[in-house]
Chain A
Amino acid sequence: MTSLLLLVRFFPYDPSIDVPLERIHLPLIYCLTWGFHLTYLAYIAAKWKSLRKK
């Protein structure tokens, strides 16, 4: 929970100029980008591992 709060703090948010929805969507954009790329890297690593067994 603490790490999640730290993550949210890392994303700038100013209630006077930003809409509440932004608080979720901006971190989601960054996390999904990293998540997809790292998942794809893990998929390649799994392929490589199965090839080495062959």
Chain B
Amino acid sequence: MSVWWKLRSLAFLFVIALLGYGLVLALQGSPPDAQQGNMIRAFYYHFPDWIGASVFLPLNLVASITYLAIRSKRPLLAMKADSLALASAEMGVVFCGLGLITGSLWGRVAWGIWWTWDARLTTTLILWLIYVSYLMVRRFSSGSSAAVLCAVLAIFGFCDIPIVYMSTRWWRTQHPAPVFGGDEGSGIAANMQAAVWWNALAWVAWGALIVSIRYAVELRRQEIEAAKGTELIDDREFEGVAHD
């Protein structure tokens, strides 16, 4: 087992402990809300989904731009950037999808509806669909042009993120105004802070760990593919020499 995998195993135990602590804080270590009762505890698992999406989808953008910039000059580093782009996109899709599902389950209790086509929910669904299409293009196409296409798609996909963030400020929405950094009076009670931030930290740490594992797996896959390609070229060259 390499040093990296040993570190990942240790990190896994640490992250599980963080998540466990966050879970106890969310369900037992915070009070019910005056208006929403115990359903406010949905926030402790809904909010980290969006923090996770806001960390890993921008990471996908950075990795995609890096890939586009260095793919001809430094192919090995570009392969790493491409692997990171895939790993972060998958994690972003998981977080974004979970945010939509948990939001819908919470909305059914808080608003009485599963879904509404307001600006926040619609732009978020579009964001999720863009990144799902990104992953599908990656899955069903091959070659270096596919990687370039995906990197460009990632840049276009990212353009929706500021629209999602600003949607509750630009339009009237069913979704509430921003809890953090919103108007005067926004924010959360002091006795909820620990549950919110520990869970956000724990899920982002989980995401980072999973992205690092997925990155290693994808990089290995690409290295095997590249080695196979080189073997094929060598075989063809050898056959060419033999014919001459």
Contact = CB atoms under 8 A, between A and B. Distances in A.
Interface string A5-23: 0000011111001110110
Given A14-B32, A22-B38, A36 B98 contact: yes
Please indicate which of the listed interface residues A19, A29, A40 has the most CB atoms of chain B within 10 Å of its own CB.
Answer: A29
Nearest to A16: B37
B98 A33 contact: yes
Contacts of B32: 12, 14, 17-18
A37 B49 CA distance: 11
B204 to A, nearest CB: 12
Contact of A33 (B102, B210, B214, B221): B102
Contact of A26 (B23, B41, B97, B213): B41
B224 A29 contact: no
A25 B28 contact: no
Interface residues of A, number: 26
- Tell me the dominant secondary structure on chain A's binding face: helix
Interface residues of B, number: 30
A33 B26 CA distance: 14
B231 to A, nearest CB: 13
A9 to B, nearest CB: 11
B36 to A, nearest CB: 9
Interface string B216-244: 01001100100000000000000000000
Contacts of A44: 210, 213-214, 217
B58 to A, nearest CB: 20
Contact of B38 (A12, A28, A36, A37): A12
A26 B42 contact: yes
B42 A29 contact: yes
A32 B102 CA distance: 8
A9 B210 CA distance: 30
B94 A22 contact: no
Contacts of A54: 224
B38 A29 contact: no
Contacts of B108: 21, 25
Contact of A21 (B45, B97, B109, B224): B109
A22 B98 contact: no
15 contacts: A12-B27, A12-B38, A17-B32, A17-B38, A22-B37, A25-B105, A26-B39, A29-B46, A30-B23, A33-B49, A37-B98, A37-B210, A41-B210, A44-B210, A44-B214
State the 4 A-B residue pairs at the shortest beta-carbon distance, nearest first.
Answer: A17-B37, A18-B37, A12-B38, A25-B105
